[in-house]
A = this chain, B = another copy of it.
Amino acid sequence: MGKFKITFYPDNKTIEVEKGKTILSAAISAGVYINSSCGGDGVCGRCKVIVKRGQVVSQPSGRIKPEERKQGIYLACLTTIQSDLEVEIPAESRIDMDKLTQDEIDLRLKGLFSESEDVQAQESAGKEIFSHSPLATKLYLELPPPNLEDKISDLERLYRQIQRIREIPIMQTGLSNIRHLGELLRNSDWKVTVTLGKRNETTEIVLIEPGDTSVKNFGLAFDIGTTTISGQLVDLNNKKILGTKATYNKQASFGSDVITRIIYAQQQDGLEKLHHTVIDSMNQIIRELVKENNIDLNNVNCILCAGNTTMVHLLLKVDPTYIRKEPYIATANFVPTTRAAESGIKINPRGLLSCVPGVSSYVGGDITAGVLSCAIEDEEDLCLLIDVGTNGEVVLGSREFLISAAASAGPAFEGSGVACGVRAGRGAIQKVKIAAKTFEVSYDTIGKANPVGICGSGYIDILSGMLETGILDKDGKIKEISSKRIRDGENGREFVIVFKEDTASSSDIVISEVDIENIKRAKAAIYSAAITLVKHMELDFKDIKKIFIAGGFGTYLNIDNAIKIGLLPDLERERFIFVGNSSLAGARQILLSYEAMKRANEIARKMSYFELSTEVKYMDEYMAALFFPHTDLANFPSIKIK
């Protein structure tokens, strides 16, 4: 069987593959990242490419319109290679490889401390901050040289000196550090710096360096999200945050949610590919942060990751298969601390990698970290944490108890599964107002760029506006009103947000009844998860004193509008607290404090997991929530329906 050359534009990357392979598979091999929500099943229609030259065979797909086909547009996942090809990847099919702009990062990280001063401000405000005892600690030691009266061995001398400064019951050292210890100690005149790493309940001498290098001790906290990977470089000596970077999780090429990725992992080399993709993204962030701060990679001694259970499995190259098979069991919720190099992370070769423990297959370490950073387990008052993402995790609790659930909201709020949906990136419509009577639309886009589509917070504003102006009824149907913006489209009736003259893609940006249905299901899933937990504990929404809204999404959210569409419960607005990326914030706390790590372990052990999928009452609540805002308006006293 012949091999063919495929060149991808605008990347201008060429790869040789066997006849019959799909274009999507060739793109992945070439390191060209194409959008794909469904994992290559031809369902989502997001992996459109233009074949400029050469022969292909493609399965028919309703996702490709006749006029698109004429332009040579195909779904990369359904199209096999039959000759040498030249393939163009249009902007809307690309996963933007560039990092987010600083503005976007700032927005996404709103609610996080950005400087050590802020940490101190928090401390003085009485918020509990854990003792400073980072995952990796450097100690400068001046050892008394041996003499005929003091003849203990070099390694014991090192241990003795450390124990004069720190109380460490169990210490261990790898052979590679011992092999040339004698020479190292003598060549450095008995003045060395040891890096001590916490490995579960023991302490390891990770590194021994000549002289005093104790000022150079850095680590990174990571939030490994299904969609976005965020990393933060921290000076472990003074808790100062030196920089934060976020990048899209390039695993999106293999499917937009964890289930499609788990399925992909079962393919030949699938796990390997998913693993390398997330590691590549992490290494890219590390490289950039280290470069910008003029730090030697060898002085980066540890990594602390929070992520959902599937992401942590893929990060560590642990087979995730059984997460999606009943009874949905993770291989490990508590993962031991390992050497970062074992997973391909490029920091100091002996540096450590630790992951925040998870609760279950669908409530992961990111939620544990979130609960930690919101200090819910210290609260006397009842709290609710809602992490609005593809999974839509909800935690209810206080110092008395913690209960969690995962709502399977679907990706609509992240701009997937909705026709004009985009992730919250440059050009995404994030804030929308609709004028009464005229139905004129005003909007803001991220980066003030020409609009490319609508992100989650934009959809919430649109639905709220449509309800308020009477365009939309409580069932989610667009009323028959005479307006140039209201018309019948391919997916039922639709409302035009931006006409093509003003869009980046030169096609109308619309919301259809099908989109509205998807969003309605997503908001119903989250709301009903929350109320099911509340009722399960024989409580009432009114008992909740603090509602923490987490997720990159949350930073744009208009609370009033989110309540109006029935996503959030109708409570006093001051009870809502934006916590931004609470997973990253929690990971950083753990990176900086062994006490916080022990607390995270306690939280993960204490938190129970409530399985919604087998709970009849959840289905009832879900059905009742499939209205705007809700079937039972008594739950939404502040909302007046026209």
Q: Report which A residues bind B (CB closer than 8 A).
A: 146-148, 151-156, 169-170, 172-175, 178-183, 186, 199-202, 316-319, 321-322, 326-336, 338, 342-343, 360-361, 609, 611, 614
Each complex incorporates copies of this chain amounting to: 2
Q: Shortest Cβ distance from A554 into chain B, in angstroms? A: 28
Q: In the complex, A326→B146 CA distance in Å?
A: 9
CB distance from A313 to the nearest CB of B (A): 9
Query: Is there contact, CB below 8 Å, between A155 and B186?
Result: no
For A183, give the chain B residue with the smallest CB separation. B319
The answer to whether B170 and A200 touch across the interface, beta carbons within 8 angstroms, is yes
Closest beta carbon of chain B to A329's beta carbon, Å: 5
Q: Are B332 and A156 in contact (CB under 8 A)?
A: yes
CA distance in complex: A155, B335 (Å): 8
Among B151, B199, B338, B342, contact of A327 (Cβ-Cβ < 8 Å): B151
**Chain B residues with Cβ under 8 A from A200's Cβ?**
170, 172, 202
Q: Is A154 touching B322 in the complex (CB atoms < 8 A)?
A: yes
A/B interface sample: 10 pairs, CB < 8 A: A148-B327, A151-B328, A154-B332, A155-B331, A155-B332, A155-B335, A174-B338, A178-B331, A182-B329, A201-B202
Provide the bound-state CA to CA distance between A151 and B319, in Å: 17
Main secondary structure of the interface of A (DSSP, over half): loop
Distance of A175 Cα from B336 Cα, bound (Å): 8
CA A186 – CA B342 in complex, angstroms? 25
A146-B327, A179-B319 known; A336 vs B151 contact (CB < 8 Å): no
| A474–B85 CA distance with the chains assembled, in angstroms | 100
- Given A152-B329, A153-B330, A175-B316: 5 more A-B contacts, CB < 8 Å: A153-B333, A154-B330, A178-B318, A183-B319, A200-B202
Q: Contacts of A153 on B, CB cut-off 8 Å?
A: 329-334
Please give me the residue from chain B that is nearest to A330 by CB atom.
B153
A525 CB → nearest B CB, Å: 20
Q: Kindly list chain B residues whose C-beta atoms are within 8 Å of the C-beta of A186.
A: 322
**CB closest chain-B residue, reference A158:** B332
CB of A334 within 8 A of CB of B156, answer yes
CB distance from A552 to the nearest CB of B (A): 27
A318 to B186, CA, bound (A): 15
Query: Contacts A154-B322, A202-B202, A336-B172: A181 and B331 contacting too (C-beta < 8 A)?
Result: yes
The answer on a CB contact under 8 Å between A148 and B322 is: no
Q: Are B148 and A614 in contact (CB under 8 A)?
A: yes
Whole-angstrom CA separation of A169 from B170 in the bound complex? 13
Chain B residue contacts of A611, Cβ below 8 A: 148
- CB neighbours (8 Å) of A154 from chain B are 322, 329-332
Q: Which residues of B contact A202 (CB under 8 A)?
A: 170, 172, 200-202
Q: Which residue of B lies closest to A271 (CB)?
A: B179
Q: What CA separation (Å) do A178 and B335 show in the bound complex?
A: 9
Give the Cβ gap from A330 to chain B, nearest Cβ, in Å: 4
A147 to chain B, nearest CB (A): 5
- Residues on the B chain within 8 Å of A332, using CB: 153-156, 178, 181
* Cα separation A336 to B318 with both chains bound (whole Å): 28
**A178, B333: Cα distance in complex, Å:** 11
Q: How far is the CB of A475 from chain B (nearest CB, A)?
A: 34
Q: Of B148, B173, B333, B338, which one neighbours A152 at CB under 8 angstroms?
A: B333
Q: Are B155 and A342 in contact (CB under 8 A)?
A: no
Let me know if B338 and A201 touch, CB within 8 A: no
Chain B residues whose CB sits within 8 angstroms of the CB of A361 once the complex forms = 151
CA distance in complex: A361, B153 (Å): 8
Residues of B contacting A169 in the complex (Cβ-Cβ under 8 angstroms)? 201
Which of A336, A343, A361 has most chain B Cβ within 10 Å?
A336
How many angstroms between the C-alpha atoms of A153 and B331 in the bound complex?
A: 5
How far does the Cβ of A359 sit from chain B's closest Cβ, in whole Å?
10
For A179, what are the chain B residues with a Cβ–Cβ distance below 8 Å? 316-319
Q: How far is the CA of A146 from the CA of B325 in the complex (A)?
A: 11
Q: In the docked arrangement, what's the CA distance between A566 and B134, Å?
A: 62
Measured between beta carbons, the chain B residues less than 8 angstroms from A151 are 327-329, 360-361, 609
| Cα distance, A455 to B360, chains bound together (Å) | 70
Give chain B nearest CB distance to A352 CB in angstroms.
12
A59 to B247, CA, bound (A): 71
Residues of B with C-beta under 8 A to A329: 146, 151-154, 182
Q: Which residues of B contact A170 (CB under 8 A)?
A: 170, 200-202
